[in-house]
Amino acid sequence: MKRYLLLLVLLIPFVSAENGTVKGVVLDRLDNLVGYAEIKLDCLEYETFTTDKFGTFSVKNVPPGPCRVYAAYRDGAGFQLVNIETNQTIYIELKLDKTIVNIPQPRNYLLPVLALIILLFIILYFKLRKKKVVERKLEAAARVKDILPTLNPKERDVVSFLLANRNKATQAEIRHTTGIPRTSLARVLQSLETKNIIKITKIGKAVKVHLTDWFLEK
């Protein structure tokens, strides 16, 4: 007997604290039933429900007290405030008579504008740089064109070979390509260096020759 009394005492709080139930239907503006609409109750913050294909819904275990019931489908919405009592079942109609408006968030155009300005500056910089390079090449071509006729044939052969070989070569490469004898080539190179057309650099046993910046107008 004591065991049954103890069980009854334990069950009394659960029976007396039983929550209510909210049942209803969702209608559109033309009073058509709306199936598969979304249902939310603010007193059940983390739960979402859905109407069946006939537009009806039933939400159990709703805590007693005021509760706002929301319904939404596509761009339509509606709500109703109800007061839930213990062990009570409430029947309501939710009409989608309000429109959900998605207000576009202001876009941040600062970064794209800055990126565009930087890109334009980069393009302008490379265009100006390319223009200067072309001008320098034209100046260099003019200077080379003016100086080459003043050189003797062997000097002209050496300079022409250097121009065709990225403006530099070793003395041995010049000798083998132009066919100028070693002694004569030494005099030719010395003469070109005196005229500031070439610069000679000795690295170990190798003798490297390259055209000067003045001659190329760099």
**Domain ranges, ordered by start, for the chain:** 18-99, 150-218
Please give the pLDDT value at position 3: 54
Order of strands, edge to edge, in the sheet holding 89-95?
56-62, 20-27, 89-95
Please give the pLDDT value at position 92: 95
Please give the pLDDT value at position 79: 94
Please give the pLDDT value at position 15: 44
Please give the pLDDT value at position 138: 46
Regions of the chain with pLDDT less than 50: 2, 4-9, 12-16, 138
Please give the pLDDT value at position 14: 47
Please give the pLDDT value at position 90: 93
Please give the pLDDT value at position 139: 52
Under CATH, which number does the domain 150-218 receive?
1.10.10.10
* pTM (2 d.p.): 0.42
Assigned CATH class of 18-99: mainly beta
